[in-house]
Amino acid sequence: MAPVAVKETPVSTVADTKAQQKLEDQVFNPFYSPAIGDDGDNSYKFAEFKPTFPKVDWPPLTEIQVTERGLLADPSKRNLFNVAQKVKHLTPAIGTEILGIDLRQLSDAQKDELALLVAERGVVFFRDQELNIHQQLDLARHFGPLHKHATTPIPRNGLEEVHVVYNDASRRPDPAAFTKLELWHSDVSYEIQPPSTTSLKVITGPEAGGDTLWSSGYALYSSLSPSFQTYLESLTALHSAVAQAEGARAAGHHVRRQEIETVHPVVRVHPATGWKSVYVNPGFTRRIVGVPKAESDAILNFLFHQISENPDFQVRFKWEPNSVAIWDNRIVTHSATFDFWPAIRHALRATPHGEKPTSVADYERETGKQAKDRQLVIWEQQGIKVERNVIGVSKQRGYND
């Protein structure tokens, strides 16, 4: 999850009020400026996981070797499914809930099959999971080396590989300061090797609200015309950490690693599935490289609105304490709802690095395989032959609700 700027509750002293007003007079980007907020309740059960912003410095990230665990999985996933009480796909395009599995008990083979399932379904949900943060980190390390975030909070207990998501009554989101579209993102997509199979566990949540939505990059790609698909496959885009770093500094935080900007393909191929996914997001993608600004703006605006507005690409999850979501940051974007103030919403994220994003051309050259459209693969598996529309020819389609 990405940080969201909020307005602090008023303080009582004149000096503190003036200091607070000075901060509020600055222009903060609401997506990138985390506030220092804490209700002061140290008796809170999970106080050790409340957010803190240590003043430490980390070196720049360099390329690292990762193993794609989904490539090692049994495609039938029988080891994983045989121990589940129920496996339920929540929408055709994205989202699966598994009941009856204890994530603490997974074998390596089952973890590999989970990685493949997440790669296929985008996000997989589990409830009533008792794994602690150390077990969550161990599970995440199976999928890759863990990422340490340069600007957002870590827990008070000093676990630097844990990303803390925390809001309480002292942190009220300011809806006048941001649009919902801006909140959609793929975690730290500006990194050289952005995250892969990422997990989030909610440890305290509101009775209602605070849901998370995910949107499928596979489904977005499949929805496009063949000519537009081909065009997007030829493009790259700039992903930037600059606004997030500047927002952290504006909020008074130390940036623990120098911000970077990285160019990634607009359409990437998942190494385990071989499926094509649109890889841009409103949070961190700044421009299409090598095209006029007006063209870049038009392309990104269209894609961003499809991500955030098309319900056919999305799944929405209502959290409960001890719920866990595991999603593949390479093929989905996500956003939370901020409708639960003044309740506490507290979650812990573990974030493995994936491979450098691979374009369609590079994937096909390096593997000798043809990258595919997920939806066409699914239809083929169902014995359905679908003819893509010829350019310039359209057919009327009926719709009933």
Reduce the DSSP state of residue 125 to 3 states and report it: strand
Q: What is the 3-state secondary structure (H, E, C) of 66-81?
A: CCCHHHHCCCCCHHHH
Compute CA 126 distance to the chain's CA centroid, rounded to the nearest angstrom. 17
Catalytic residue among 349, 353, 373, 374: 349
36 to each of 316, 374, 395, how far by Cα in Å?
A: 28, 42, 55
**Dihedral Cα 176, 181, 186, 189, nearest 10 deg:** -80
The DSSP element (H or E) to which 126 belongs, if any, is strand 123-126
Give the active site residue among 121, 147, 163, 185: 185
Nearest to 80 by CA among 107, 41, 47: 107
- How many other C-beta atoms can be found within 10 angstroms of the C-beta atom of residue 38? 17
* 112 counts as catalytic: no
| SS3 (DSSP) at 21 | helix
Q: CB neighbours of 179 closer than 8 A, spacing ≥ 6?
A: none
Q: Give the ranges where 10-155 is alpha helix by DSSP (H).
A: 14-25, 78-81, 108-121, 133-143
- Tokens standing for 336? 């939370």
Q: Can 163 be counted among the known catalytic residues?
A: no
- State the DSSP code for 224: S
Q: Quick check: is 185 catalytic?
A: yes
Q: Quick one: which H or E segment has residue 198? A: strand 197-204
- Which SS3 state, helix, strand or coil, does residue 265 take? strand
Q: Are 61 and 257 in contact (CB under 8 A)?
A: yes
Which residues, 6 or more positions from 150, have their beta carbon under 8 angstroms from its beta carbon? 58, 241, 245, 255, 256, 257, 258, 259
β-bridge pairing 96-99 and 123-126: parallel
| Dist. CA 261–CA 242, nearest whole Å | 7
Catalytic one of 69, 112, 168, 187 = 187
Tell me whether residue 268 is one of the annotated catalytic residues: no
Burial tier of 70 (Cβ tally within 10 Å: 0-12, 13-18, 19+): buried
Whether residue 353 contacts residue 144, with contact meaning beta carbons closer than 8 Å, is answered with yes
Cβ pair 152, 32 in contact under 8 A = no
Which among 334, 346, 353, 374 is annotated as catalytic?
334
Give catalytic residue positions: 185, 187, 334, 349
